[in-house]
Homo-oligomer: A and B are copies of this chain.
Amino acid sequence: MIISDNLKMYVQKLRSSNLRPTKQRLKICQFLFDRKKTFHFTVETLNKKINKNGAIKISLATIYNTVEAFTSAGYLKEILTSKNKSYYDTNIKSHHHFYDEGSKELTDIHYSQIKLSKVPVPPKGKKIKNLEVVIRIQK
């Protein structure tokens, strides 16, 4: 895959979500999705890496806006785990996580690696939005 091909792909992807393909969004797309493996990040880490040595600087506000827009559009998944910071995942398939309380890092657990053989019925009028398990680990 050549980068210019991916760029076209991102332009389409963004347009299909009613998001204009700005250079900021495309740069963030490339950073997030031009790779073989999915990964986890926070706005803080993304901001640092995006603005390390690139040509254009992207403001923190735009990083926030874009991560939020990409999450709404379904390109990213938010992982609720820590009380202070939001984590995001480029792996949008349903799956579980280890959360290391020491290093504050997430590791994927494939969906099939956890079997819930008994799950309670939600209260009337409510339905289950998400059943992904976060297993907290430490040394």
Contact = CB atoms under 8 A, between A and B. Distances in A.
Contacts of A133: 116, 131, 133
A81 interface: yes
Interface of A: 78, 80-86, 98, 100-101, 107, 109, 113-120, 122-123, 125-131, 133-139
Number of copies of this chain that the complex holds:
2
Nearest to A84: B83
A119 B129 contact: no
- Which are the 9 A-B pairs with shortest beta-carbon distances? A115-B118, A117-B117, A130-B136, A126-B137, A113-B120, A115-B117, A129-B136, A122-B137, A129-B138
A50 B58 CA distance: 45
B113 A116 contact: no
A110 to B, nearest CB: 8
Contact of A123 (B84, B85, B98, B116): B98
